[in-house]
Structure 1
Amino acid sequence: MARLTRTSRPERFPVNIDPTLLDDLEWRGLIAHSTDLDALRAALSEGSVRFYVGFDPTAPSLHMGNLVQILTARRLQQAGHTPYALVGGATGMIGDPKESGERTLNSLDTVKDWVERVRRQIEPFLSFEGDNAATMVNNYDWTASLSTIDFLRDIGKHFPVNRMLARDVVKSRLDAGISYTEFSYVLLQSMDFLNLYRDHGVTLQFGGSDQWGNLTGGVELIRRSDGGKAHAFATPLVTKADGTKYGKTEGGALWLDPEMMSPYAFYQFWLNVEDEKVGELLRIFTFLSRAEIEEIEAQHAEKPFLRAGQRALAEQVTTLVHGAEETERIKAASAALFGGGDLATLSPTTLGAALREAGSTTVDGDAEWPTVVDLLVAAGLAKSKGEARRTVSEGGAYVNNVRVDDPDQVPTQDDLIGGSWLVLRRGKKNFAGVEVR
């Protein structure tokens, strides 16, 4: 379509509305900003509200920050409201301005591929059946054919430049420079809200707190253009105890795609969060009830060394993202690697992911194989051959959970697990992998 036009509103279906939704979102710490909390509370209590949340395909996978929005959408749908999940085939061609500098623009084919990847990641979290069935939309469908003149006349005229310049991310970029492409991103996202408001009766948008300017831009556009009333709220940025951003590991972002971050590494991330963040993360990232979370917090406060909070968090979030079966495989791998299970029963994929995460070294299978002492040093479990020999003599060295008595022992092909792995362990807590190629 070339111009954005008003259409009749779709019929609203009767569904069971949970009147405690907003109270639960507030208790979970999921509302950092809101346009009008009392008005939003009234709207959410009157009937099924059609809402949308957007995801720009600026990478081949979603990450931890996106997961906050996906799970929030799921909470709203479970409370009786109707989701529209927007994958930004158009906005993903540009990317929201970021403080660090101009984004690299991706090709149309790349963005199309990422749109499909992101869409497949979102789908399992929402229900596409029932009276409040979810709808997946792509803003490329209504943006690609829109002419520049129509865009400037119908959308641009409603955006005062002084307000656009007042946005924090824009102000931070003015000295270094910001392109008109990124500067105009807020117009595109606001146009999405207007289009969904007109064509689908969507009256609520939410997103991360870094999107607040874009969210309010859409609310204001609906008011200025159509005289309509819409709502918006923003979830907080999830940070570490020291205030720095979560979602980054040594290997990059905390990706949801198992090919970009193994489920084992994903599980380990949650298992190792700081004690003081456990309660907050349980509220944001799990569907455990208030009573269940408070009980876990009490157990964690009494005996933090048992890490009950981290274990519950890791199990719950990994199950949501990767499924119950994969989570059980990860737990079995963790137990086996520390001597509490049979290594031979682990899948090569799970074992390999766990050992690469812990640290591993490689051996040329066609060359002469090194001794256990050499392997302990190569894998970083001992600083020197002398230290490795002492570890063996003190009974603290293991290959595949079997104690090693001879420092000159050389593993054989028969020792390989899954055809290519040896598991070295020093003491009870330190292990590493050896991959024989």
Structure 2
Amino acid sequence: MANVLDELIERGYIKQYTHETEIKELLEKKKITFYIGFDPTADSLHVGHFIALMLMSHMQKAGHRPIVLMGGGTAMVGDPSGKTDMRKMLTREEIESNVSNIKKQMQKFIDFSDGKAILANNADWLMRLNYIEFLRDIGVHFSVNKMLTAECFKQRMEKGLSFLEFNYMLMQGYDFYRLNKDYDCIMELGGDDQWSNMIAGVELVRRKENKPAYAMTCSLLTNSEGKKMGKTEKGALWLDPKKTSPYDFYQYWRNVNDSDVGKCLAMLTFLPMDEVRRLSALQDKEINEAKKVLAYEVTKLVHGEEEAKKAASASEALFGSGSNMDNVPVVYIPKDMENAAILEVMVYTKILPSKGEGRRLIQQGGLTLNDNKVEDFNRTLSEEDFKDNGYAIIKKGKKKFFKLIIK
């Protein structure tokens, strides 16, 4: 039986293990049940979650059973990991709505048919806990001294760690304990920033149940400078097309640094590793072919083949030799704005957040209208600007294009 762990290591997913030799033997000989937790703090997953989904998908394809654990209960508290400030408190209604949206996104990556995967929500047990019983039954196994040495708490201690957040590790540990009892789940997977919380769960299961339990962490998606990938000028790179359009999503991957192409191809696509190595080895201008493959493959996984083709076609029209402008992002203005100042139009269509930003862009030579650089702050639109195709093309910076249409 091929060991999925070898593939995960080759693709660069695995960062740390609790029991390396045991895990390797286990995944070789048995089909296990494992889980990954997702806190529904927003109504969509983002690229940071995408690595976890890919990891889960590789494991499922190798015959292991995933549990997707939605943190409907833990989201009421907020995870302090990787945060210097306390997270915004969400209402139960907001959390339930987020869970519902995220479930739909998950189904593109994980096969939930015929019990091949389980969807659980820790609100089902955490919201019903009796505090005194929980302290006596679970809290007794946690050392405060040891907890305070955890990286996730160290960062928050500087600004003040609330007792509410301090409970998070106990709750995540309890999740593993419950999943072990209810579903015979023996392994937790997650981002490397969750290491301390994951160890807490492994130790709790081993102490209380006297059974083996394991954890493996996944590398976070960082660029060659060690910064988290998936951040754009508008914020996170979301998997929901309403929050990040398929075109913008495609363009993000089309424009990654040359040095990050290999890592992204290995971790964010299912391309065979021989092909990943071939594409990663391309140099100079040829690396653009690898970036096109990366952008297309990732967009296809998240948004489907049709949207990936549209985004590739729009990108080719703007940057390559293509001429099909159908899929370039469109912004509309009303008829009474057809002679408005360009800065007003930019703010109205939300291409820019403010006129001040627009002035800065013009000063830096970063705004063009139909291939002509805009140099006058007071430049207004005219009928001529829309004459050729019934639309005008606005270019913001080097790579952001918009088709401007009067509605």
Same-fold status (TM-score > 0.5): yes
Please tell me whether the aligned partners of residues 91 and 139 of structure 1 are also in contact (alpha carbons under 8 angstroms).
yes
Distance 1:41 1:380, change over 3 A: same
Question: For the residues of structure 2 that align with 1:273 and 1:367, how far apart are their CA atoms?
Answer: 36
Question: For the residues of structure 2 that align with 1:368 and 1:75, how far apart are their CA atoms?
Answer: 52
Q: Tell me how far 1:295 sits from its aligned partner.
A: 1.2
CA-based RMSD of the aligned residues comes to 3.2
Please tell me whether the aligned partners of residues 57 and 114 of structure 1 are also in contact (alpha carbons under 8 angstroms).
yes
Question: For the residues of structure 1 that align with 2:401 and 2:329, how far apart are their CA atoms?
Answer: 12
Amino acid corresponding to residue 351 of structure 1 in structure 2: P
Question: For the residues of structure 2 that align with 1:22 and 1:155, how far apart are their CA atoms?
Answer: 32
Q: 1:116 aligns with which of 100, 122, 125?
A: 100
**C-alpha deviations, 1:136-171, integer Å up to 9, x for none?**
111111222121122112111111111111111212
Distance 1:434 1:36, change over 3 A: same
Determine if the alignment matches structure 1 residue 71 to structure 2 residue 54: yes
Determine if the alignment matches structure 1 residue 91 to structure 2 residue 69: no
**C-alpha deviations, 1:326-358, integer Å up to 9, x for none?**
0001111122334744546x25xx532xxx7xx
Q: 1:102 aligns with which of 63, 73, 86?
A: 86
SS of match in other structure, 2:215: strand
Please tell me whether the aligned partners of residues 15 and 217 of structure 2 are also in contact (alpha carbons under 8 angstroms).
yes
Tell me the equivalent position of 2:393.
Answer: 423
1:3-42 counterparts in 2 under 5 A? 18-42=1-25
**C-alpha deviations, 1:224-278, integer Å up to 9, x for none?**
1111111100011221222222221100011111111111111111111111111
Q: Tell me how far 1:289 sits from its aligned partner.
A: 0.9
SS of match in other structure, 1:32: strand
Amino acid corresponding to residue 187 of structure 1 in structure 2: L
Determine if the alignment matches structure 1 residue 411 to structure 2 residue 407: no
Distance 1:431 1:156, change over 3 A: closer
Q: 1:323 aligns with which of 304, 307, 330?
A: 304
TM value normalised by structure 2: 0.85
Determine if the alignment matches structure 1 residue 436 to structure 2 residue 403: no
Distance 1:351 1:25, change over 3 A: same
Tell me the equivalent position of 1:127.
Answer: 111
Over the matched positions of the two proteins, sequence identity in percent amounts to 37
**C-alpha deviations, 1:98-146, integer Å up to 9, x for none?**
432111111110011011111111122111235x601111111122212
Tell me the equivalent position of 1:241.
Answer: 224
Tell me the equivalent position of 1:9.
Answer: none
Please tell me whether the aligned partners of residues 172 and 201 of structure 2 are also in contact (alpha carbons under 8 angstroms).
yes
Corresponding pairs, count? 385
Determine if the alignment matches structure 1 residue 50 to structure 2 residue 33: yes
Unaligned runs of 5+ in 2: 347-357, 374-380
Question: For the residues of structure 2 that align with 1:212 and 1:219, how far apart are their CA atoms?
Answer: 11
Question: For the residues of structure 2 that align with 1:293 and 1:30, how far apart are their CA atoms?
Answer: 15
**C-alpha deviations, 1:381-428, integer Å up to 9, x for none?**
97699x99xx99xxx659xxxxxxxxx9833877565xxx422579x9
Q: Tell me how far 1:305 sits from its aligned partner.
A: 4.7
Question: For the residues of structure 2 that align with 1:73 and 1:425, how far apart are their CA atoms?
Answer: 39
Please tell me whether the aligned partners of residues 379 and 432 of structure 1 are also in contact (alpha carbons under 8 angstroms).
no
Q: Tell me how far 1:40 sits from its aligned partner.
A: 0.5
Please tell me whether the aligned partners of residues 371 and 410 of structure 1 are also in contact (alpha carbons under 8 angstroms).
no
Distance 1:416 1:148, change over 3 A: farther
Amino acid corresponding to residue 334 of structure 1 in structure 2: S
Q: Tell me how far 1:180 sits from its aligned partner.
A: 0.9
Q: Tell me how far 1:309 sits from its aligned partner.
A: 2.0
**C-alpha deviations, 1:58-82, integer Å up to 9, x for none?**
1111111111001100000001111
Unaligned runs of 5+ in 1: 1-17, 357-361, 399-407
Segments of 4+ in structure 1 off by > 6 A? 378-385
1:334-413 counterparts in 2 under 5 A? 334-338=315-319, 340-343=321-324, 346=326, 351-352=329-330, 365-366=335-336, 369=339, 410-411=383-384
Question: For the residues of structure 1 that align with 2:400 and 2:42, how far apart are their CA atoms?
Answer: 35
Distance 1:364 1:44, change over 3 A: same
Question: For the residues of structure 2 that align with 1:242 and 1:187, how far apart are their CA atoms?
Answer: 34
Tell me the equivalent position of 1:273.
Answer: 256
**C-alpha deviations, 1:17-53, integer Å up to 9, x for none?**
x523111111111111101111001111112110100
Tell me the equivalent position of 2:378.
Answer: none
**C-alpha deviations, 1:205-237, integer Å up to 9, x for none?**
100000001111110000111111111000112
Amino acid corresponding to residue 128 of structure 1 in structure 2: F
Amino acid corresponding to residue 299 of structure 2 in structure 1: T
